[in-house]
Amino acid sequence: MAPTVKRAYKYRFYPTSEQAEQLARTFGCVRLVYNKALEERTRAYTLEGRRVSYAESSAALTAWKRSGDFDFLFEVSSVPLQQALRHLQAAFTNFFAKRAGYPVFKSRKKSRASAEYTRSAFRRRGGTLTLAKMEAPLAIVWSRPLPEGAEPSTVTVSKDAAGRWFVSILVEERIAPLAPVEASVGVDAGITALAALSTGEKIVNPRHERADRRKLAKAQRALARKEKGSANRAKARVKVAGVYARIADRRRDFLHKVTTRLVHENQVIAVEDLAVRNMVRNRSLARAVSDASWRRLRSMLEYKCAWYGRELVVAGRWFPSSKLCSVCGALQQSIPLDVRSWKCACGARHDRDVNAARNILAAGLAER
C-alpha cells in the first residue's frame, strides 16, 4: 500500500479590499501575540530559571484579551493566535533540545506575514475556501486540483514582500511508488554546470540571479533615491521584492523539473554532503553558490525519493571525489579549481565534474 504523506498545495489568491484588511489585521495580531509570549517566556527563563508551558501562554492570551488593552484581538479569529503560541512552543522545544538557536522576535518588515488556520477556522465547500471572520470565499487560482477526497488539515495564508497573496493547503495523501528501474546516478553539484551526472551529462546552470542582475540593480538604485519613510520608497521596495520573487520562482521551478526527472529515471541517486553554509562565507563564491541553490536541490531529492520509493545515498563530506581516478582508483595529490580536465597515469582522461559524479556514485553505493 502506498504510504500516506503530508503535502502542501500552494495557490495564489486575490483578496477583496475587506479581506486584505482583515488578513493584515490578523497578521499583526499574530505577530503581537508571538512577540508578547516570547517576551514573557524570556523574562521567566532569565529571571526565574523557569520554563513556561503552552498552557500557561494560552491562559495568558485569554488574560490579555480581557484586560481591556488588547480588545482588537477579538476582531480576528482566535485560531491563528493559538497557532502562533504552538509555533513558539515548538521553537522552544527545539532550542532546549539543542536543535536550534533561541527564538527571536518577529519583525513587521523582515518576518514573513502569515497566519495558520486549523479545521475549525475555515470552511471548504463546492470548490471554495472561506476563512473564519469572513463572509465571502477567497478568490483562489486553482492552478492544480487537490487530491481527490483529500481533506485539508490546516490552511496557511501569507503575503510576500512583493505584495502577492498565497494560500497553502496541507493535506494527507497516498503517493504511489514509481515502478522500479535498474539505473543509478551520481550527482556532482557545481556552478558552471548545476549538476554533472555520472552518465556524462551536464545539466546547465541557468543562473537566474545573473540573468536578472541588471533589472535588480536598476530597481535597487531607484529605491536608494527615494526618501526614507515616503510612499514612493514603499512602492520602490515592492518593485525590488518583485524582481527577487521572479528569480526565486524561476529557480524553484527549474529545480523541481530537474529533481523530478532524476527521481523518475533512477532507482538510486548518490550526492555529496556539501558544507554549503561554509561555502557562502567565501565572498568570491557566495553569490554563485546561493544562485545555484544546492541545499534546495538536495532537499527536493530527499523528499521526492521518500515519496516515490527511490533511494538517496550521500557520500562523505571529505571524500576526494574530484582527485580520485574513477577508472583505476589512483588519488591525485592536488588538482586546482581552474583545471577542468586531467589525465591519470593509467591513461584515462577525465572531465573533472563527471569523474567526481562517478566517484560519488561508487562511494554512495558502497555505503548502502
Backbone φ and ψ for 206, nearest 5 degrees, come out as -65, -20
- Compute CA distances 252 → 28, 208, 280, 292, whole Å: 29, 10, 19, 10
Give yes or no: 71 in active site: no
Q: Are 205 and 289 a contacting pair, CB within 8 Å?
A: no
Beta strand 184-189 pairing with 113-118: unpaired
The three cell numbers locating residue 70: 488588547
Among candidate residues 272, 273, 338, 367, the one labeled active-site is 272
Q: Output phi, psi for 269, to 5 deg.
A: -125, 125
249 is catalytic: no
Q: Is 272 a catalytic residue?
A: yes
Q: Which of 116, 209, 291, 353 is catalytic?
A: 353
| Active-site pick, 116, 188, 209, 291 | 188
Tracing cell 556514485 back to the chain, one arrives at 361
140-147 long-range contacts (CB < 8 A, ≥24 apart) are 140/11, 140/12, 140/13, 140/167, 141/11, 141/12, 141/13, 141/14, 142/11, 143/11, 143/12, 144/9, 146/9, 146/171, 147/171, 147/173
Which residue from 368, 262, 358 is spatially nearest to 305, judged by alpha carbons? 262
Cell output for 251: 529557480
Q: Show which residues are catalytic.
A: 188, 272, 353
